Copies of this chain bind each other. A is one copy, B any other.
Amino acid sequence: MVAELNFNNPTVVALARYGALVVGKMLFLLLLTSFFRVTRKVFSCPEDARSSYLGNAKTEDQVKKMLIKDDMIERVRRCVLNDMENIIPFLLLAPLYILTGPADSTALLLFQIFVGSRFVHTITYLFGMQPFRALAFTAGLCVNFYFVFHIFRNSHF
């Protein structure tokens, strides 16, 4: 019997739960970016600076000032980009990995390592903590590479 992608398969339920958690974390960073943009009045588009709801800039000089890059916002942006480069491949590979029919406990452990590493990555990125960020990044990347090799080896057609 082959592995199925439905909730009768406990690995799929685990993926749903951990996937929701880690995507939720990523979406939270989008919210944080918006929050910082409005509170710090730093925008990427002139119409945002001019909007009375956002920047409320009255003169072109004020608009220009609000378009200068902010260190903290750029940091959050890079963190989002790194999330996308790692979390999205994870969520694309994980269902294919499940289809190869791994042991439930192995799959669960890999999901936990990955999601844990990405939470550590976000915290260490936002607070600039090295070499912990590099280690968290590496742990997540290893899980993704393991998926790649495992799927490749177990998909003969």
Contact = CB atoms under 8 A, between A and B. Distances in A.
Given A84-B88, A88-B92, A130 B20 contact: no
Contact of A130 (B13, B51, B78, B155): B51
Interface extent on A, as a size class? 35 or more
Interface in A1-59: 2-8, 10, 12-17, 19-21, 23-24, 26-27, 30-31, 34, 44-48, 50-51, 53-54
B45 A14 contact: no
B54 A134 contact: yes
Given A20-B96, A47-B128, A53-B134, 17 more contacts: A2-B6, A2-B7, A4-B6, A5-B6, A7-B101, A13-B157, A14-B155, A15-B96, A16-B96, A16-B99, A16-B155, A17-B152, A20-B151, A20-B155, A45-B128, A46-B128, A88-B88
